Amino acid sequence: MYTQILWGGILLSLCAMMHISLLVLAIPVTKLIGKGVSSLHFLVKDAVLIVAVFAFVVLAHTLQVWLWAVCFVWLGALAFLEEAIYFSLVTYTTVGYGDVTVGSDFRIFAAMASVTGLLTFGLSTAFLVTFFERMRVGNAR
């Protein structure tokens, strides 16, 4: 049990660092994109920036799902990568269909994937809300 918590915590921490790094990287990239499209109509410019920010958020979550999936296969919790990606995705998003499961040796470890998803979706939500608020304030000028 403690080993599952330890490894789950390590992977959760790696995912959190990756997620935060990508969100932080999104800031200067969107500023750079904003300068590149500054001559466009503000609606087009805003759409381009929103797409860019969403791309960073989707990339961050996708990489984490893949990381969990690779670990499930590497540790022997699941036999095939496709099955592991599916399980990782439904666990990370807390959908949890239950059609693919891991054995009791990995249940706590797998639950840490859902904790990772909960925390990083919260970060993404806060980031997007702040981004949209700053866009709204910037366009009000």
8 Å CB contact between 20 and 65: no
* Per-residue pLDDT at 137: 77
- Per-residue pLDDT, 140: 55
Are residues 99 and 61 in contact, defined by beta-carbon separation less than 8 angstroms? no
Residuewise pLDDT in 10s, the chain (141 residues) = 888 999 999 999 999 999 999 999 999 999 999 899 888 888 888 899 999 999 999 999 999 999 999 999 999 999 999 999 999 999 999 998 989 999 999 999 999 999 999 999 999 999 999 998 988 777 654
Whole-prediction pTM = 0.90
Instruction: Kindly state the tokens that stand for 73.
Output: 């296969």
Give 69's contacts (C-beta < 8 A, 6+ positions apart): 78, 81, 84, 85, 87, 88, 89
What 3-state DSSP class applies to 75? coil
pLDDT of residue 38: 83
Residue 87 near residue 69 (C-beta atoms within 8 A): yes
- Measure the CA–CA gap between 135 and 137, rounded to whole angstroms: 5
